[in-house]
């Protein structure tokens, strides 16, 4: 079975591709190696894929290319049974600077994939959506009935993309599922995210920097839980046509998260506070009943367990990962 993973050199797509290769599937990764953060992290991920294939997994092919290139997308989708569409211009704050690019990559890029999948027929189209589609919470935890009023161009682009996926499911019978991820973290995570940043700074005796007063809350989801939800969709059709939350259900104040990491790594450091960014969500918290009901999704890692696992991984990989985090 051939699985096309777009954005497969990135954090989440990288873990998906690694798992699919390890499970013996033939994997094609399409990624344009966007320099949003240090490219050596992506190159390391591609090396891990190649090693996993060489260790007796399925086959692996890396294609450097852009989801905005409709001809290339047509060709690759035509060779695939499953599409896991993870490629996106990520990042809430930078989307405020360049909304047009978010539209081109996240919306037009997704449409290229959907058109190709509709024309050639695939077993399933699974795409990464985001908690950013909800915007300001009217109530928490967010369930999928919560209004979707994104407050950033990034959130607007993810909402448009997932609505297209669900509409294609309705109109063209394309089996499509959108997973709304809630701040995913774990090994090889993007360096410009709170957990990698806090850990890296504390490891180097520098205080964690918090934007705002630190009372904003986040539902951090460990990467393994995200991978399991995606793997389940290889065989489970119960969520076709649906968008659903994939979170941890365990939310934490950013200040508490920073304190926990600081206490484990450098207890003498004082936290530093800087001005909050307007586009940042104040609170996120996932209700995961729908994913549990439809695909048996059950998050396995509390934030404390996941952070400890990440710190262990960081220590083991410090030599190559830390310089890349600090240069990003
Ligand atoms: P990432 O930036 O690590 O991965 C995205 C990958 O897509 C990168 O490797 C990048 O090079 C590639 N890419 C970007 N533009 C491309 C293009 N035009 N053509 C081909 N490839 C392109 O981000 P991630 O954290 O792994 O996120 C994966 C997906 O999950 C994204 O769709 C993102 O919007 C979504 N998501 C992530 C989180 C999170 O917390 N990490 C939360 C919610 C949603």
Is residue 237, in this structure, part of any structural domain at all? yes
User: Is 94 inside any structural domain?
Assistant: yes
pLDDT tens-digit series, residues 190-218: 888 889 999 999 999 999 999 999 999 98
Compute, in angstroms, the gap from residue 216 CA to the centroid of ligand 1: 23
Looking at the domain assignment, is residue 55 inside a domain?
A: yes
Residue 279 confidence (pLDDT) above 90:
no
How confident is the model at residue 33, as a pLDDT?
98
**Domain of 99: which CATH number?**
3.40.50.720
* Residue 276, in any domain of the structure: no
pLDDT at 206: 96
Tally of structural domains, the chain? 1
Q: Whose CA is nearest to atom 6 of ligand 1?
A: 7
Is residue 28 a part of any domain in this protein?
yes
Residues lining ligand 1, Cβ inside 6 A = 6-7, 9-13, 30-34, 36, 42, 66-68, 86-90, 105, 109, 128, 130, 158, 181, 183-184, 190
Which residue has the CA at smallest separation from atom 35 of ligand 1?
128
pLDDT digits (tens, 9 = 90+) for 122-152: 999 999 999 999 998 999 999 999 999 999 9
Answer yes or no: 154 catalytic: yes
Catalytic residue among 154, 168, 185, 321: 154
pLDDT of residue 278: 66
- Give 300: exposed, middle or buried? Use CB within 10 Å, 0-12, 13-18, 19+: exposed
Q: Do the domain assignments include residue 199? A: no
CA–CA separation, 143 vs 288, rounded Å? 7
Has residue 262 been placed in a domain?
no
pLDDT at position 213, please? 92
- State which H helix or E strand residue 309 sits in: helix 303-316
Q: Map tokens 């995210």 to a residue.
A: 193
Is residue 204, in this structure, part of any structural domain at all?
no
Residue 65: give the domain boundaries: 2-182+223-247+281-300
């Amino acid at each position: 079975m051939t699985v096309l993973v777009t954005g497969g050199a990135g954090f989440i797509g990288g873990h998906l591709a690694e798992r699919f290769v390890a499970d013996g599937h033939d994997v094609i990764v399409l990624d344009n190696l966007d320099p949003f953060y240090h490219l050596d992290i992506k190159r390391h991920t591609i090396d891990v894929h190649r090693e996993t294939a060489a260790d007796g997994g399925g086959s692996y092919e890396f294609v450097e290319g852009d989801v905005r290139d409709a001809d290339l997308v047509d060709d690759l989708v035509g060779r695939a049974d499953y599409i896991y569409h993870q490629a996106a211009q990520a990042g809430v704050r930078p989307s405020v600077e360049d909304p047009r690019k978010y539209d081109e990559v996240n919306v037009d890029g997704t449409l290229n994939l959907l058109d190709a999948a509709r024309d050639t027929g695939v077993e399933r189209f699974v795409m990464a959506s985001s908690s950013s589609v909800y915007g300001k919470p009217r109530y928490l935890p967010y369930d999928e009935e919560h209004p979707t009023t994104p407050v950033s161009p990034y959130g607007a682009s993810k909402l448009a993309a997932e609505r297209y996926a669900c509409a294609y499911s309705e109109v063209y019978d394309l089996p499509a599922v959108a997973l709304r991820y809630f701040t995913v973290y774990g090994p090889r995570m993007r360096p410009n995210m709170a957990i990698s940043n806090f850990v890296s700074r504390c490891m180097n005796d520098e205080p964690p920097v918090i934007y705002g007063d630190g009372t904003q809350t986040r539902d951090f989801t460990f990467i393994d839980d995200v991978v399991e939800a995606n793997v389940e969709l290889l065989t489970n059709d119960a969520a076709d046509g649906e968008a659903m939350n994939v979170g941890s259900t365990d939310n934490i104040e950013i200040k508490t998260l920073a304190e926990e990491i600081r206490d484990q790594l450098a207890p003498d450091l004082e936290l530093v506070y800087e001005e909050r960014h307007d586009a940042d969500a104040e609170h996120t918290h996932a209700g995961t009943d729908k994913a549990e009901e439809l695909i048996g999704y059950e998050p396995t890692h509390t934030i404390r367990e996941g952070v400890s696992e990440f710190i262990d991984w960081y220590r083991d990989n410090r030599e190559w990962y830390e310089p890349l985090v600090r240069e990003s």
